[in-house]
Chain A
């Protein structure tokens, strides 16, 4: 219980009346405090680079590139890019057969585009907590990245990061939406 030691009857009444007093005339009691607070100013943003949309300088493509395809960029939803999302089972970071098949295709594309660096993002659906989903997303990103490396992609070209449940593609609360959100997503930069 609260230990309110103000009086024996422990009853409190607030602000019985307020009166305006123009100018002076009342006795100043001891102790005064500044009422105005100081407010935190907005911090100036760090001068960090935009997230991966502008990357390192363009390097010459590998000389064994035969197809001459342009490097395209995948946008936030994963559409229009060369590398489709791969999906995971609920609460799992293990790769399904379908995921492996897709990743094998990605490995081919990546090796054919020697100048490309990628981030591999691990995502979760909304049914876990904020922090543990960041850990699960990391497991998913690493699983996808490690598999690509096992297929011959140079590890330094892949940056595995977790987005947890912070950037779903589908914010609805359905099984279908959750399944779409449990994914590894690929962003390509030059």
Chain B
């Protein structure tokens, strides 16, 4: 990538320029394999580009089929970023957009541009998506707290959502990204709270039932919430309206059931049950009928996550393999299982990206637990630098 060439010597603007390029490159590389990019060493083989009139023959000569040109200008506290995508063989401009706004977060300009470029390839981009997770970074010796955080999908800008100094765990996004359900012990017994994150409010959805509630999961249409509760004696899957009203028990074995997750159509719920002796993954319809076992490999399977994309009918889950836990993916139609993670220590708690092409999960390979992402085939595993402490239980939101 050639150096950014400023018209004036303003360091802040150059910095913003560099950020845009670096972030956009990372975003695009997240979706396309490395071999689809022209090696940077080849850029020195051609003359410097004139952004107003790129010489497509130069680019063709080093094997590029697509050219992405970005320009940025900064005036006062505002930034403008111009992005053009050219098809080199035809010389056509496939995309031309201007992004403008405040300078306080240059990364989001690049993320927006990346998502727009992805749509040219008919791929739903996830560069603007967020991952919620749990961190113990705020714990003290007296208050061994865990709080809910939200970060960009690439690990940047972690922001704290809960500030109650208690145990807050198991975050779950709503499909519209405006609400986050989570479990909090702030009132003593664990209940499910719904945070309306743009309004700064939290509501207790399961109060007053004299029982505990865990593992919330919103249906995709946002109308229902499934969760695990011992309200009926032992731990079962319950389904309620999204505001917590109308709760009904949907499982009835004498074993524990937990970790419900909705199918993309909202007609089925996958969950973990100990009814077979050890934890395994089952599926039932949303009313609790027609229970079928899904996992047959391994003696400890938990935490199902249903790929949201119609293109990939598969379930990710945590599986105990050779002493530790790893992430596995079950192809629902064929029953084939592929292992996504491997190595020292364990990985658990998978969650799918909104386009179904990536997974997030947490692993303790480096000593502490950290959130990581990978492609759905297990390639390109990257640990996200989400901040200090142990960072676990990621949920990938819109």
Contact = CB atoms under 8 A, between A and B. Distances in A.
**Chain A bound to chain B:** yes
Contacts of A29: 82, 84, 96-98
B294 interface: no
30 contacts: A4-B123, A5-B121, A6-B65, A6-B66, A6-B87, A8-B89, A10-B65, A13-B38, A14-B68, A16-B43, A16-B51, A16-B59, A18-B18, A18-B71, A19-B7, A20-B8, A29-B96, A29-B97, A32-B100, A35-B99, A35-B109, A37-B128, A43-B161, A43-B163, A48-B186, A130-B303, A130-B393, A132-B256, A134-B258, A135-B228
Contacts of A46: 164, 184, 186-187, 193, 202, 204
Interface in A30-61: 30-46, 48-49, 51-52
Residue among A28, A34, A134 with max Cβ neighbours from chain B (10 Å): A134
Contact of A130 (B122, B197, B349): B349
Interface of A: 2-23, 26, 28-46, 48-49, 51-52, 76, 119, 128-132, 134-136, 138-139, 142, 159, 161-163, 166-167
A33 B166 CA distance: 40
A131 B73 contact: no
Contacts of B1: 14-17
B224 interface: no
Given A34-B101, A35-B79, A7 B89 contact: yes
B126 interface: no
Contact of B13 (A13, A15, A20, A51): A20
A132 B200 contact: no
- Name A's interface SS: loop
Contacts of A12: 28, 32, 36-38, 64-66, 68
Contacts, number: 307
B159 A40 contact: yes
A85 to B, nearest CB: 16
A7 B65 contact: yes
B4 interface: yes
B110 to A, nearest CB: 9
B359 interface: no
Interface stretch (B19-27, B240-248, B285-293, B332-340): B19-27
Contacts of A4: 32, 36, 121, 123
Contacts of A9: 63-65, 88-89
B135 interface: no
Contacts of B185: 51, 161
Interface of B: 1-8, 10, 13-14, 17-18, 20-21, 24-25, 28, 31-33, 36-38, 43, 48-49, 51-52, 54, 59, 63-75, 79, 81-82, 84-85, 87-90, 94, 96-102, 104-106, 108-109, 112, 116, 120-123, 128, 142, 144, 146, 150, 157, 159-164, 166-167, 169-170, 184-190, 193, 195-198, 200-202, 204, 212, 214-215, 228, 230, 234-235, 256-259, 272, 274, 279, 300, 302-303, 318, 325, 348-349, 392-393
A42 B163 contact: yes
B98 A20 contact: no
Contacts of B186: 45-46, 48, 51
A3 B164 contact: no
Nearest to B215: A131
Nearest to A15: B21
A134 to B, nearest CB: 5
Contact of B198 (A11, A16, A40, A134): A40
B11 to A, nearest CB: 11
Nearest to A28: B98
